[in-house]
Chains A and B, each alone.
Chain A
Amino acid sequence: MSERDLKNRQAQWLERDYRNALSGRGERKKTFETRSGLPIRPLYTPLDLEEIHFDYEKDLGFPGQYPFTRGKDATGYRDNFWIFQQYAGFGDAEEANKRYRFLLDKGQTGISIALDLPTQIGINSDHPLAEGEVGKVGVAIDSLEDLEVLFNGIPLNKPRQISIVANAVAPIALAMFIALAEKQNVPTEEMVLRIQNDVLKEFIARGTYMCPPGPSLRMCSDVVTYCAEHHPNWLPMTICGYHIREAGSTAIQEIAFSLANAMEYMDHISRRGFDMAKVLPKLSAFMSVNMDFFEEVAKFRALRKLWSTVLGQRYAIQDLSALNFNLVNFTAGSSLTAQQPMNNIVRVTIECLAGVLGGCQSLFPCSMDEAYCTPTEQAVEVALRTQQIIAHETGVADTIDPLGGSYYVESLTKSIETEVLRYLEEVGSRGGAVKAIEQHYFQEEIAEASYRLHKEIQSRERVIVGVNEYRAPEETPIEIFRPPRDTAEKQELRLKKIRENRNDSKVAGLLKEIERVAEGDENMIPVLIEAVKNYATLGEICDVLRNVYGEYEDAPLLARR
């Protein structure tokens, strides 16, 4: 059929078949839009590809090849599945170690360490501000000794990847792992450590910051450049859209703001004179998989294309393979409902499927009870089984990028790309991500989107099953996990013992040395390695950094009225 014929046939179909069939009743809602607000047509055909000037070579290419739209690896999942991960950790290192062994025993192939909040913001378990928080949302790590216990009986090279949610404290986490690898006698090239190390999104969204943005950038970049030189197979920076999305952004904002952050880090590292072709491949991206199935799949494809084209141009990268990255997908905690929690198993399944069709390298499913608590063993096992079922039973991993070429998905991918570029221009005109953070630009954009979505749910324009429709008259209680109550006490005792048994004057000297390095320009990782090996505690090291760099304070803000 010629293009003209197709145009006529399609117009006819729309007028006659579609509209006639609807006549009287009308469509079931006023507008059809993706969650990000992109309009959705009743049908997509080759004409839609024409409209966006779709060009196979330029827009898609081949898996493992620039611009990587169809996937990071040439082999897709035909050589190996993505890494099965579950974010885990609570209590003290001994308790968390038991959970890791349980998960490895059930077929998890990566370990992902959740840290408690005191650890994430760089204070010890015996600090007054830590009261009530020790061992709650993750495991408490006060010193290298805790990490040693955490990996007791688990050689660091056993999982395919170990990841850790260290951002403000990323340099210390890196130092601890280097020290632990030495103690365990595991060559670092035999293991893969992925560090989150994205502090900018903490200012924008999640809030586990420590120092102000300027010095935070320097600490993040020390982690990246140290690994680029000494541990080239590690993944020392994970650009996070997940937390931005969880704070209420749209899918488009999620990847736009992530890319803006990536540029800020890379600009900083580039100004410090590093070879960007060596640094860029160290990055991973950590994104949310939410419920709007096709928009999510398109988002991941658009992200790969934008990442490679935008960053490639910005840093004039010749070797295009440097523009490839690991995509880590985590299902959306905020899509879980406290109402009828068993339904969350279904939500997580759908999100996992979108994550896989989007071409992720690791996948983290949430557990169905997370609107109430840290998951029970049973709940986390179902979550792990969910991804195993998708991998082994559905066949979706048997060909690469199976949704590639879908008129709809390609149209969405392009629309997302266009909208993201618009945001990037705006952030650029504000002087980059740090400036945009200081101007509260991201925060306000996210708060607006979040409130808009809330109002749609409130007015039942958007139905959430069990929440604003199909409600149960009485909720059936589920089993609740309780982290151990004695973690703070145990940690206090451990800290006391550490302080008794170590060489205090050596530690004091090393803390002085950290201060000197922090004030200057040299990479701080080597001195941190020395310090953690001598059991300087996380809190002591962070006190030094806070003294040198200052502390960031949240600005209480409400959307303008």
Chain B
Amino acid sequence: MERRLRILIAKPGLDGHDQGAKIVARALQDAGMEVIYTGRRQVPEQIISAALQEDVDAIGLSVLSGAHEHVFRRILDLLKEKGASEILVFGGGIIPRDDAAELKRLGVVEIFGPGSSTDDIVRIIDQEVRKRRLN
């Protein structure tokens, strides 16, 4: 049987607004994925070590404090360093469009801003993880 998708949802940095992270976590669970939620104030190193330990397919980062550039870059770098670039990174929060485009250029699968449909999030994550599993 195919392994269920395993997703880590994380709140990096000092931002405490976790409504979005919790909604996404729950929607992914409802869609049958296994979800691990880190809680708040995680440094990138903690997030990566949780991701490796839990053997996840994807990491979802929620940042509303404007620290997204720093955080996403650091996570992507660490994944490369650990040879774990097959783990997908997606995100959401208060992120200007140009920044979202730049993050996608760096390798983030998608930035789901305010008002995103969780059906879309589920569909895109599912599709992208499967694509990557095939490669």
How far is B118's CA from A207's CA once the two chains are assembled, in angstroms? 24
Q: Which residues of chain B come closer than 8 Å to A202, judged between CB atoms?
A: 16
Q: Counting CB contacts under 8 A, is A296 at the interface? A: no
How far is B38's CA from A557's CA once the two chains are assembled, in angstroms? 8
CB distance from B54 to the nearest CB of A (A): 12
Contact A247 B37 (CB under 8 A): no
B26: contacting residue among A133, A556, A559, CB under 8 A: A559
Contact A451 B119 (CB under 8 A): no
How far is B23's CA from A458's CA once the two chains are assembled, in angstroms? 11
Q: Counting CB contacts under 8 A, is A561 at the interface? A: yes
Contact B96 A480 (CB under 8 A): yes
How far is B113's CA from A208's CA once the two chains are assembled, in angstroms? 23
Contact B115 A558 (CB under 8 A): no
Task: Write the A129-143 contact mask toward B (1 if CB under 8 angstroms, else 0).
Answer: 111110011000000
Task: Write the A435-477 contact mask toward B (1 if CB under 8 angstroms, else 0).
Answer: 0000000000001001100100010000010111000000001
A374: contacting residue among B66, B67, B98, CB under 8 A: B66
Binds A, one of B39-47, B78-86, B102-110, B123-131: B39-47
How far is B70's CA from A491's CA once the two chains are assembled, in angstroms? 18
CB distance from A200 to the nearest CB of B (A): 14
Which one of B97, B98, B115, B119 has the highest number of Cβ atoms from chain A below 10 Å of its Cβ? Answer: B115
Contact B94 A458 (CB under 8 A): no
Closest to A485 in B: B69
CB distance from B111 to the nearest CB of A (A): 11
How far is B71's CA from A136's CA once the two chains are assembled, in angstroms? 13
Contact B118 A373 (CB under 8 A): no
How far is B65's CA from A131's CA once the two chains are assembled, in angstroms? 12
How far is B12's CA from A207's CA once the two chains are assembled, in angstroms? 12
Q: Counting CB contacts under 8 A, is B135 at the interface? A: no
Q: Counting CB contacts under 8 A, is A248 at the interface? A: yes
Closest to A205 in B: B16
Secondary structure of the A side of the interface? Answer: loop
Q: Counting CB contacts under 8 A, is A336 at the interface? A: yes
Q: Which residues of chain A come closer than 8 Å to B119, judged between CB atoms?
A: 458
Q: Counting CB contacts under 8 A, is A181 at the interface? A: no
Q: Which residues of chain A come closer than 8 Å to B70, judged between CB atoms?
A: 131-132
Q: Which residues of chain A come closer than 8 Å to B37, judged between CB atoms?
A: 556-558
Contact B113 A207 (CB under 8 A): no
CB distance from A369 to the nearest CB of B (A): 9
Contact B23 A450 (CB under 8 A): yes
Contact B13 A133 (CB under 8 A): yes
How far is B22's CA from A137's CA once the two chains are assembled, in angstroms? 21
Task: Write the A158-183 contact mask toward B (1 if CB under 8 angstroms, else 0).
Answer: 00000000000000000000000000
How far is B89's CA from A9's CA once the two chains are assembled, in angstroms? 63
Q: Which residues of chain A come closer than 8 Å to B26, judged between CB atoms?
A: 447, 451, 558-559
Task: Write the B16-29 contact mask toward A (1 if CB under 8 angstroms, else 0).
Answer: 11110011011101
**With A554-B39, A556-B39: A458-B65 Cβ-Cβ less than 8 Å:** no
How far is B22's CA from A136's CA once the two chains are assembled, in angstroms? 23
Q: Counting CB contacts under 8 A, is A495 at the interface? A: no
How far is B22's CA from A480's CA once the two chains are assembled, in angstroms? 27
Contact A554 B98 (CB under 8 A): no
Q: Counting CB contacts under 8 A, is A241 at the interface? A: no
B35: contacting residue among A129, A480, A558, CB under 8 A: A558
Contact A454 B66 (CB under 8 A): no
Contact B29 A558 (CB under 8 A): yes
Closest to A209 in B: B16
How far is B71's CA from A556's CA once the two chains are assembled, in angstroms? 20
Q: Which residues of chain A come closer than 8 Å to B69, judged between CB atoms?
A: 132
A207: contacting residue among B18, B23, B29, CB under 8 A: B18
Contact A458 B118 (CB under 8 A): yes
Q: Counting CB contacts under 8 A, is B117 at the interface? A: yes
Q: Which residues of chain B come closer than 8 Å to A130, judged between CB atoms?
A: 14
Closest to B115 in A: A467
Contact A137 B19 (CB under 8 A): no
CB distance from B88 to the nearest CB of A (A): 20
How far is B14's CA from A121's CA once the two chains are assembled, in angstroms? 8
Q: Counting CB contacts under 8 A, is A371 at the interface? A: yes
Contact B96 A373 (CB under 8 A): yes
A372: contacting residue among B22, B67, B94, B117, CB under 8 A: B94
- Within residues 45 to 76 of chain B, which ones have a CB less than 8 A from any CB in chain A? 65-67, 69-71
Q: Which residues of chain B come closer than 8 Å to A246, judged between CB atoms?
A: 17, 19
Q: Which residues of chain A come closer than 8 Å to B25, judged between CB atoms?
A: 558
Q: Counting CB contacts under 8 A, is A337 at the interface? A: yes
CB distance from A23 to the nearest CB of B (A): 36
**With A136-B66, A337-B115, A464-B115: A117-B22 Cβ-Cβ less than 8 Å:** no
> Which are the 5 A-B pairs with shortest beta-carbon distances?
A207-B16, A132-B70, A556-B39, A117-B14, A136-B66
List, sorted by A's number, 22 A–B pairs whose CB atoms are closer than 8 Å. Answer: A121-B14, A129-B43, A130-B14, A133-B65, A136-B65, A136-B66, A205-B16, A207-B41, A247-B19, A248-B19, A336-B114, A337-B114, A371-B114, A373-B96, A468-B115, A480-B97, A556-B38, A556-B39, A557-B39, A558-B25, A558-B26, A558-B35
Given contact pairs A372-B96, A554-B39, a sample of 10 additional A-B residue pairs in the complex whose CB atoms are under 8 Å apart: A129-B14, A136-B66, A207-B18, A337-B114, A371-B115, A373-B66, A458-B119, A554-B41, A556-B37, A556-B38
